[in-house]
């Protein structure tokens, strides 16, 4: 098995803990499914949120979906002028048999504009 990093992002409509939980669950689930991963394949997840998201921690949503044994951390994304607002990003580290070019990076909802070249 090889260690790989997988990126993803999702945008929510407003800063609301329920919307954040739904979005984190959707994003993590799609990353796991697209890359044929289970919880035991995961090494760690790093979440960032744009500075306008303060209602909850994305890691809390990941723990609620069963990732309580995976190391999780949250950080604030840089406040770059004209950047996409209300965006949750992730970098997931995992063990996988997939080659680098087989990895599916997942960008959902409004976040597809961040990586139109690989967005789902």
Tens-level pLDDT at each residue, the chain (120 residues)? 899 999 999 999 999 999 999 999 999 999 999 999 999 999 999 999 999 999 999 999 999 999 999 999 999 999 999 999 999 999 999 999 999 999 999 999 999 988 767 655
How far from chain centre, in Å, is Cα 84? Answer: 15
The pLDDT of residue 51 is 97
Strands ordered across the beta sheet of 42-49: 72-76, 42-49, 87-96, 2-11, 106-108
Cα distance between residue 2 and residue 24, in whole Å? 25
Catalytic positions: 7, 63, 74, 77, 89, 107, 115
The pLDDT of residue 114 is 87
* DSSP state at residue 119: -
The pLDDT of residue 119 is 54
Q: How many residues does the chain have?
A: 120
Cα distance between residue 56 and residue 43, in whole Å? 23
Q: Is 109 annotated as a binding residue?
A: no
* pTM of the model as a whole: 0.94
Helix (H) or strand (E) holding 26: helix 17-34
Q: Is 34 helix (H, G, I), strand (E, B) or coil?
A: helix
The pLDDT of residue 83 is 92
Domain borders along the chain are 2-115
Residue 110 and residue 14 in contact, taking contact as beta carbons nearer than 8 Å: no
User: What is the CATH code of the structural domain delimited by 2-115?
Assistant: 3.30.1330.40
């Amino acid at each position: 098995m090889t260690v790989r990093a997988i990126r993803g992002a999702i945008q929510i409509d407003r800063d609301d803990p329920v919307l954040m939980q739904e979005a984190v669950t959707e994003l993590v689930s799609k990353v796991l499914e697209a890359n044929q991963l289970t919880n035991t394949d995961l090494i760690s997840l790093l979440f960032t949120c744009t500075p306008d998201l303060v209602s909850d921690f994305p890691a809390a949503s990941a723990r609620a979906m069963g990732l309580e044994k995976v190391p999780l951390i949250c950080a604030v994304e840089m406040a770059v002028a004209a950047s996409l607002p209300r965006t949750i990003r992730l970098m997931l580290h995992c063990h996988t048999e997939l080659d680098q070019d087989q990895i599916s990076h997942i960008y959902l909802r409004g976040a597809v504009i961040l990586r139109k070249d690989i967005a789902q």
